[in-house]
């Protein structure tokens, strides 16, 4: 009798499990409706909640281009609501006779180490936790972005005004941070600069197993900061609604960098957790 | 939870102390392992010093058994984890705890456990601390033997993810049927047949904004084990439904795996052959996990795992997205007191393995091979791609010349596709030859000097290497020194000596080893599963103990 009972339990489990399969039919992609962010509580400037995606990569990382493609797909859906940064860090960034461009930065290496990224391709989405993890494999970026955009109420907005002097290659970047709620917090402002569309070699095992790509387009590459890795503290304690904080940063651009492809990324982060509250991007020559 | 662990620990130690007074209270067994390293900066080999200056990994298991009841815990502490181990390990705690009992033909286990179904193609949750893997399930496991020759296993739980559990749920059931035990008239037959089948399903919510992801993904497998006298033939085939993930770049192609092993053995001769095909068979309880995390299954290795340092310079790592290959090995012992065999006999071991990518073609003109959000590619089951991942021909000859001298010589010819294995020093394909002589001279029955001479030739990667090792062993102690010299490195300033010295003391179940020197950057693998090891320079201490 006991035997029969056990057998019934086991057979029930087997039948139960056998239904545990979801076969997906084509098309495999959803049609995503990205509704505009509610900006009604802003003042004169238009502020949007954007999400910063830091894609840790390396030019000798064979799986990293798959992450770049994922990021392209997400940008195709979310547009400028995503501010992408490609950060070269980790084991696959070494130089040799073929891979001559050093894409690494002090800031990128510090973030890679401090956030225990550990391997590439991995990413941080607003430096916030998704499904228990800070450092996310690229397949989780979409869901994490969705999580960040779910809250449409903007607590803080960032506005950038750039002026670039061609003669001395000096950039002046004026950043305004505006708060839209009364609350208490300690926040910092960080300002990075990126270079887009750099043509250089890249290993891409998934798409080009027989040779590395000689003319790969490296996008959104982090080149450095104007504020230090985690920026400077701009407010601590009580924050008042409609309060505005303005900061000015200057940079003399290295002659090897193409100023037409450079952008400023400015973001407000929680000083303690480093979580990003909002981010904005603007070309040097806007 | 902490209170439960504390209570459990107190109980375990109480039983232990009572045991000395009363043998009926059961038994406690356990073991301890500690690996510590004090790091030096060494810019020549790229060795870095962490902020803490040193790292320490430590583990201890305590298992209590009384009659049909078992319980145990494992302590783990990383202060911080040694270089090359994931920093997510950092911390201390008791991540593994279990209790189990057997009643009649049913064994119930709750808490953490490991398990394997068949060859592991659909489920193998295991741990290997040296490789930084622990896939333990936390939940319930049932082992049931309803009839003679019938064995049922069922598991239900979540997998360990460092100090937490992963997001996905794992459910699995396996049945094994020993036909000769089930059918009485076959009991005495020379041919023994065992059949088995498994089904494993994982659940993870779909939160992806772009892709329609399957929340429940099932994988099933069927296997056969056939033995007759000196022959054995075993095989398993597994199939997995659509499982788009980070590892397969979100393709919806079903996965497949096939492994076949055949052996023949008689006195003085052993022949082993195996073949394997894997197509999109990564199976993880979190589709967004890193390739090394939260693996539910394990795809068996069909290449030889080498222990000599230069033979293991370019180890094979299993490619779950696709690989096809075979291995054959013949071990022949030439008779003692024959012309070729000498007074004590000579053993010859010839092993060859070869692994290619699977052949892949486009589904149609508009979809690239492996494109995310598609069925990926078409692939003929038995067709090899021209892309060679790995090929290893190795010949090992061992001979005892007299009571004092024995020697082993090894030759290896290797082809290693570095763009696939991605070990950090990109060169498309590495071709190498390795020669080794290992000579042991016994001064007395318990005192011996072993000498290893190794040489690796290649025109790729870091060029040629030479290595000399001397190891003296005596009762309770061993002393070893070696120098691994990368004299052929194309960059002259990297033609580095990796010198190392170690002293070990062994007393019954306790072993202490202290070493000092340089260790090269590389990859260590066991069974095709690998871990990157950064270069290091410094003092290392290793202690193992058991009771």
What are the boundaries of each domain within chain B?
301-547
Best mutation target among B177, B203, B246 (most A Cβ atoms within 10 Å) is: B246
Shortest CA gap A263–chain B (Å)? 28
Q: How far apart are CA B325 and CA B303, in angstroms?
A: 9
C-beta atoms of A10 and B154 within 8 A: yes
* pLDDT recorded at residue B528: 74
* pLDDT recorded at residue B15: 53
Q: What are phi and psi of A94, to 5 degrees?
A: -65, 160
Strongest mean pLDDT among B12-26, B43-57, B220-234:
B220-234
How much is the mean pLDDT over chain A?
89
> Among A221-225, B428-432, B536-540, whose mean pLDDT is lowest?
B428-432
* pLDDT recorded at residue B10: 54
pLDDT, one tens digit per residue, over A71-86 is 999 999 999 999 999 9
Query: Which residues, listed in sequence order, are joined to residue A82 by a DSSP beta bridge?
Result: A51
Please state the ipTM of this predicted complex: 0.85
Shortest CA gap B327–chain A (Å)? 24
Question: Is the model's pLDDT at A37 over the cut of 80?
Answer: no
Q: Which residue has the higher pLDDT, B6 or A141?
A: A141
Query: Which residues, listed in sequence order, are joined to residue B113 by a DSSP beta bridge?
Result: B137
Question: Is the model's pLDDT at A40 over the cut of 70?
Answer: no
CB A85 within 8 A of CB A107: no
Of residues B288, B372, B375, nearest to A69 (C-beta): B372
Q: Which residue has the higher pLDDT, B251 or A10?
A: B251
Residues of B in contact with A74 (CB under 8 A): 210
pLDDT, one tens digit per residue, over A88-111 is 999 889 888 889 999 999 999 999
Shortest CA gap B312–chain A (Å)? 21
Q: What is the mean pLDDT of residues B373-397?
A: 95
Shortest CA gap B403–chain A (Å)? 49
CB A58 within 8 A of CB A93: yes
**Angle, to 10 degrees, between the axis of helix A141-150 and the axis of helix A64-78?**
30
User: Domain A44-283, what fold?
Assistant: Immunoglobulin-like (2.60.40)
C-beta atoms of B368 and A207 within 8 A: yes
Residues of A in contact with B144 (CB under 8 A): 6, 10
Q: Per-domain residue ranges for chain A?
A: 44-283
pLDDT, one tens digit per residue, over B134-150 is 999 999 999 999 999 99
Query: Which residues, listed in sequence order, are joined to residue B542 by a DSSP beta bridge?
Result: B35, B513
pLDDT, one tens digit per residue, over B263-303 is 999 999 999 999 999 999 999 999 999 889 999 999 999 99
C-beta atoms of B214 and A210 within 8 A: no
* pLDDT recorded at residue A94: 87
pLDDT, one tens digit per residue, over B173-197 is 999 999 999 999 999 999 999 999 9
* pLDDT recorded at residue A42: 45
Question: Is the model's pLDDT at A41 over the cut of 60?
Answer: no
Q: What is the mean pLDDT of residues B329-356?
A: 94
């Amino acid at each position: 009798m006991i035997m029969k009972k056990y057998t019934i339990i086991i057979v029930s489990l087997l039948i139960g499990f056998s239904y545990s399969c979801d076969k997906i039919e084509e098309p495999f992609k959803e049609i995503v409706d990205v509704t505009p962010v509610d900006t009604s509580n802003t003042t004169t400037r238009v502020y949007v909640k954007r999400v910063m995606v830091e894609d840790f990569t390396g030019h000798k990382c064979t799986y990293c281009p798959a992450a770049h493609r994922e990021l392209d797909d997400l940008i195709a859906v979310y547009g400028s609501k995503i501010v992408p940064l490609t950060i070269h860090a980790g084991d696959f960034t070494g130089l040799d006779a073929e891979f001559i461009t050093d894409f690494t930065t002090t800031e990128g290496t510090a973030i890679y180490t401090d956030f225990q990224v550990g391997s590439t391709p991995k990413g941080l989405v607003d430096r916030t936790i998704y499904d228990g993890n800070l450092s996310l494999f690229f397949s989780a970026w979409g869901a994490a972005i969705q999580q960040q955009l779910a809250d449409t109420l903007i607590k803080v907005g960032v506005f950038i005004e750039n002026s670039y002097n061609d003669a001395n290659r000096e950039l002046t970047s004026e950043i305004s941070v505006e708060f839209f709620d009364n609350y208490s917090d300690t926040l910092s402002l960080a300002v990075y600069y990126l270079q887009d569309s750099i043509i250089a070699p890249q290993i891409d095992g998934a798409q080009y197993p027989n040779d590395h790509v000689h003319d790969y387009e490296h996008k959104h590459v982090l080149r450095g900061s104007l504020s230090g890795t985690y920026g400077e503290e701009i407010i601590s304690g009580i924050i008042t609604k409609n309060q505005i904080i303005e900061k000015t940063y200057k940079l003399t651009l290295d002659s090897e960098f193409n100023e037409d492809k450079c952008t400023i990324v400015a973001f407000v982060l929680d000083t303690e957790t480093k979580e990003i509250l909002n981010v904005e991007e603007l070309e040097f020559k806007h | 939870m902490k209170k439960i662990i504390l209570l459990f620990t107190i109980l375990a130690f109480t039983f232990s102390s009572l045991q000395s007074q009363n043998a009926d209270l059961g038994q406690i067994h356990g073991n301890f392992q500690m690996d510590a390293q004090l790091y030096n900066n060494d810019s020549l080999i790229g060795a870095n010093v962490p902020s803490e200056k040193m790292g320490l990994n430590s583990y201890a298991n305590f298992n209590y058994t009384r009659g049909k009841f078992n319980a145990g815990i494992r302590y783990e502490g990383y202060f911080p984890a040694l270089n090359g181990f994931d920093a997510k390990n950092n911390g201390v705690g008791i991540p593994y705890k279990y209790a189990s009992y057997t009643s009649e033909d049913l064994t119930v286990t709750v808490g953490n456990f490991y398990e394997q179904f068949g060859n592991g193609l659909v489920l193998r949750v295991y741990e290997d601390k040296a490789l930084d893997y622990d896939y333990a399930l936390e939940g319930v496991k049932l082992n049931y033997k309803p009839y003679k020759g019938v064995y049922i296993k069922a598991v239900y739980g979540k997998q360990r993810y460092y100090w937490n559990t992963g997001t996905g749920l794992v459910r699995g059931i396996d049945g094994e049927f020993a036909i000769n035990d089930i059918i009485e008239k076959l009991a005495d037959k020379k041919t023994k047949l065992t059949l088995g089948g498994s089904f494993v399903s994982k659940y993870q919510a779909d939160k992806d904004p772009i892709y329609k992801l399957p929340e429940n993904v099932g994988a099933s497998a069927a296997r056969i084990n056939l033995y007759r006298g000196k022959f054995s033939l075993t095989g398993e085939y597994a199939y997995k439904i659509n499982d788009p993930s980070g590892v397969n770049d979100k393709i919806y192609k079903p996965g497949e795996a096939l492994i076949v092993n055949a052996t023949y053995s008689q006195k003085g001769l052993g022949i082993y052959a195996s073949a394997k095909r894997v197509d999109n068979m990564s199976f993880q309880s979190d589709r967004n996990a890193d390739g090394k995390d939260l693996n539910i299954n394990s795809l068996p290795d069909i290449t030889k795992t080498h222990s000599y340092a230069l033979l293991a310079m370019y180890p094979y790592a299993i490619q779950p997205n696709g690989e096809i290959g075979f291995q054959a090995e013949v071990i022949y012992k030439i008779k003692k007191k024959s012309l070729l065999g000498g007074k004590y006999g000579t053993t010859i071991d010839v092993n060859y393995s070869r692994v290619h990518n699977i052949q892949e073609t486009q589904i149609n003109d508009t979809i690239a091979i492996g494109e995310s959000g598609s069925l990926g590619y078409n692939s003929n089951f038995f067709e090899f791609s021209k892309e060679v991942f790995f090929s290893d021909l190795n010949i090992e000859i061992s001979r005892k010349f007299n009571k004092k001298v024995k020697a082993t010589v090894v030759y290896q010819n290797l082809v290693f596709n570095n763009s696939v294995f991605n070990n950090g020093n990109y060169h498309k394909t590495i071709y190498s030859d390795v020669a080794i002589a290992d000579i042991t001279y016994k001064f007395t029955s318990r005192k011996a000097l072993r000498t290893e001479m190794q040489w690796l030739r290649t025109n790729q990667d870091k060029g040629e290497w030479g290595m000399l090792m001397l190891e003296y062993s005596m009762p309770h102690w061993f002393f070893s020194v070696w120098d691994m010299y990368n004299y052929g490195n194309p960059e002259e300033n990297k033609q580095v000596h990796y010198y190392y010295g170690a002293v070990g003391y062994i007393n019954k179940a306790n072993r202490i080893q202290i070493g000092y020197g340089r260790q090269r950057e590389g990859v260590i693998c066991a069974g095709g599963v690998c871990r990157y090891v950064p270069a290091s320079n410094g003092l290392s201490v290793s202690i193992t103990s058991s009771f």
